Chain A
Amino acid sequence: MEEISTKVLVIGGGPGGYVTAIRAGQLALPTIVVEEAKLGGTCLNVGCIPSKALIHVAEAFHHAKAQEKGASPFGLSVASPTLDFGKTIGWKDGIVGRLTNGVAGLLRKHKVRAIAGKAELIDGKSCVVRTADGDKRIHAEHIVLATGSAPVEVPALPFGGPVISSTEALALDTVPATLVVVGAGYIGLELGMAYAKLGSKVTVVEAADRILPVWDPELTAPVAKRLKQLGVEVLTATTAHALSDDQRALVVRQSGSVDTLAIAADKVLVAVGRTPRTQGFGLEKLDLTLQGRFIAIDDQCTTSMRNVWAVGDVTGEPMLAHRAMAQGEMVAEIIAGEKRSFDKTAIAAVCFTDPEIVSVGLLPDQAKAQGFDIVTGNFPFLANGRAMSQDDEAGFVRIVARADNHLVLGIQAVGMGVAELSSAFALALEMGAVLEDIAGTIHAHPTRGEAFQEAALGALGHALHI
């Protein structure tokens, strides 16, 4: 068996793992990253990136279809648009390929060795990797666990046949005529809306009493409205039971009802959450302290074992690529001897539904629950020139600040393209902005960002354009 020694061993080549490895390489630490599938992890291969590609195509097709019907208010019409879905998937795969190759190139550039294979931990200092050309034993001073997460399976609806996870939903051969989405979280709604725009008859089944239950109803209302306009049926307070006997429908039951209901489904997309990957690679041998299902870490991403680190989804919520990357960067720097800790104020959450939702920091109710006396400001896109000129005025920007010193505690937005505002929102929170800072910053006209400034002005009691 080939024996290799290194300073840093990263297990998992997703955003958490590859960023750890790149940064470690930049800091001249001998580094190896092991990935059993493809570099880029969930995010690049079967998550963030391919779903955005599919959403973009769905959006373009939907617009063209709308114009075909002469519904365009500005007089554009097109003749029966069609979509070659095979080509769509090919285009998406092309993007994924470019990005994963890019990751491989970056690792090479920083002299990180990437090994394709399945790692099995031996102890806190070594592992065996089973590769196509034999087993390799790797000894490392530091091990960084970046094994990510996997879609949660519903016991009554095991994946297989018509029951698919988000992974399969991004690689279908054809657009299903009928699609039932189980779970009205961000993954289910992003994909459900995309397929509705691509032509599927979509039904969303959610156990809670509303969609996107992690956010307040005010913030999610524009999405609920758009779902309705798209003809997506949303069944809240409803649980999925099983496939029908002929495998062509999903049987559900609404809470409080004794009768079940069968919904025709060529495909059933189960998107009820993600679970950390803590099994199947010898982690039990390390006997690390867990926090619930996740590996317990402190503010430096150290685990309960010395020189074993963990980053990304395997360490808990929020399971977001940008959090994993920030953790990975920090861990590499700590290993290199720098003084760092994860002291971030804000991690933006973005939901690429139509319209998009951004949330950074505290929601109004969360701020109140933490004992803050708050003021809020809310500016609708209805009164924003850029939104009007883009023919999509749904949504608003909302700011939550302390009433006493105006420190901004949270910023939320819902509307077309607001994902791009997340950088400004996060920067404001990270810099410790007060309402006057945002109100006093000139925001370019005409942009949707003006709503951000106006929301701050609104919280101060004198919005200009409403």
Chain B
Amino acid sequence: MAIRIIKLPDIGEGVAEAEVVEWHVKPGQEIGEDDLLAAVMTDKATVEIPSPVGGTVIELGGEVGSVMAVGSKLVAIETEAAGSKIEAVEDASKAAPAAAPVEKPAPVAERPKAPTAEKPKAAMPAKVSRPSPEPVFGMPLAAQAKPVASPAVRGRAREAGVDLRQIRGTGPAGRVTHQDLDAFMASGAVPVVSSRTPKREGVEQIKIVGLRRRIAEKMAESTRKIAHFAYVEEVDMTALEELRAHLNKRHPDRPKLTVLPFIVRALTHALREFPQMNALYDDDAEVVSRYAAAHVGIAAQTPNGLMVPVLAHAETLNLWQTAQEIRRLAEAARDGTAKRDELSGSTITISSLGDLGGIVSTPVINRPEVAIVGINKMAIRPVWQDDRFVPRKIMNLSSSFDHRVVDGHDAASFIRAIKERLELPATLFIEA
């Protein structure tokens, strides 16, 4: 018998640490060579670590959510190899070619499962008997909202005005028996009037791991370091909406245009006048780098959390190319197939909540960028024109800027430059 220590392998260039997002093994478990040990997450990539040896797992190097340095102990495995008491140290990257990092950008947030939640497949008792005297309760599932009880018990409960969901059944699978009902009523429980909603109890604790944790860190850092200021302006979108409807009708074969490609275009044009907005601020070095290219981040909600796929060189794209690229990136982000360079490198970000959108928002800057433009919901509002109210399509732009390097006057002028282009959409297509 020998104990082998499996270290966290070097899983990518420049990666010094990784977070354990899922354990595939637990202490005491026998595993074979190449069986997966754990999934670890680095900067937006999840890597499955296989075992280079077979044996019995005796110790895990940390729990789900712990961050490990490359080279630190991942698991200890007792092998059947000769040479007792020798602590062999093994680098898992020498295992099999399968150790090659699986590029899987961030689909991890849904995967983490506390090892305790993993039901062993051998949950079935090996002999026929009533299940253990302590009744086994299944995980509460929405699908099983109905209490388990015989029709006679259900009928009695209904007559007595008792909501069976309040009774903890002692029968198999939590079945409520006649005795349970008797005990409940004898305990002086107030019959539930059907119109009263039963009290809800319990606290659900959710471990913040993986992508969620990265989002938490980034957001906290952004608000800690950046002196945010918000600026809201309203834009009359009536003319642009007419143009958009016309273009969509005229080109049914092309990708459908939303408002977003127009805003990207207005933004890239305005950035030529205001290069200080298309910049990254390295606050350690105290250097602002202004970029000629407009790499526009599009904040997108995915099943796993917020992600910001990047529209690279947005200044080179026409409306339909922009629309198509936005759609492709959003889908890739959502289904987790986005490549790493599609998720980084933005120089300014647009934040849109789509149909939600609200009246005003205060977006958090995607640090080290210095500006973010938020799109609010468009609505028809009465606007005073000449001597009467007219219905106009009004939309707010809620933006945030880094006041350390951007002044209020410049920010307001920048937003006005965008507003003017959107309100007179012809100017979007004039190369001034």
* Chain A interface residues toward B at CB < 8 A: 339-341, 343, 345, 370-373, 375, 402-407, 430-432, 434, 436-437, 439-440, 457, 460-462
How many pairs, one residue from A and one from B, have CB atoms within 8 Å of each other in the complex?
79
B285 contacts chain A at the CB level, 8 A cutoff: no
A-facing mask of B105-144, CB < 8 A → 1, else 0? 0000000000000010001111111110000111101111
Is the CB–CB distance between B128 and A462 below 8 Å? Answer: yes
Known: A432-B173, A432-B175. A407 touches B138 (CB 8 A): yes
- Shortest beta-carbon distance from B106 to chain A in Å: 24
Is the CB–CB distance between A340 and B173 below 8 Å? Answer: no
Complex Cα–Cα for A67 and B102 (A): 65
- Shortest beta-carbon distance from B75 to chain A in Å: 26
Report the nearest B residue to A404, measured CB to CB. B138
Report the nearest B residue to A362, measured CB to CB. B143
Known: A375-B124, A404-B119, A404-B136. A436 touches B146 (CB 8 A): no
- Shortest beta-carbon distance from A304 to chain B in Å: 19
B355 contacts chain A at the CB level, 8 A cutoff: no
Complex Cα–Cα for A431 and B152 (A): 9
Report the nearest B residue to A401, measured CB to CB. B173
Complex Cα–Cα for A373 and B127 (A): 20
Interface residues of B, dominant DSSP? loop
Is the CB–CB distance between B123 and A404 below 8 Å? Answer: yes
B255 contacts chain A at the CB level, 8 A cutoff: no
A-facing mask of B186-201, CB < 8 A → 1, else 0? 0000000000000000
B151 contacts chain A at the CB level, 8 A cutoff: yes
Known: A404-B123, A405-B138. A457 touches B172 (CB 8 A): no
Q: Which residues of B contact A372 (CB under 8 A)?
A: 141, 143-144
| Interface magnitude class on chain B | 20 to 34
* Chain B interface residues toward A at CB < 8 A: 119, 123-131, 136-139, 141-144, 146, 148-151, 154, 158-159, 161, 171-175
Complex Cα–Cα for A403 and B131 (A): 13
Q: Which residues of A contact B151 (CB under 8 A)?
A: 343, 430-431
Is the CB–CB distance between B158 and A434 below 8 Å? Answer: no
Q: Which residues of B contact A341 (CB under 8 A)?
A: 158
**Contact partner of A405 among B130, B142, B161, B174, CB < 8 A?**
B174
Q: Which residues of B contact A404 (CB under 8 A)?
A: 119, 123, 136, 138-139
Interface residues of A, dominant DSSP? loop
Complex Cα–Cα for A37 and B340 (A): 71
Known: A405-B136, A405-B172, A405-B173. A436 touches B128 (CB 8 A): yes
Complex Cα–Cα for A405 and B142 (A): 16
Is the CB–CB distance between B138 and A461 below 8 Å? Answer: no
Most-contacted residue by chain B among A370, A371, A404, A461 (CB, 10 A): A404
Complex Cα–Cα for A406 and B143 (A): 15
- Shortest beta-carbon distance from B144 to chain A in Å: 8
- Shortest beta-carbon distance from B228 to chain A in Å: 41
Complex Cα–Cα for A437 and B172 (A): 9
Is the CB–CB distance between A343 and B173 below 8 Å? Answer: no
**Contact partner of A439 among B123, B128, B144, B159, CB < 8 A?**
B128
Complex Cα–Cα for A402 and B119 (A): 12
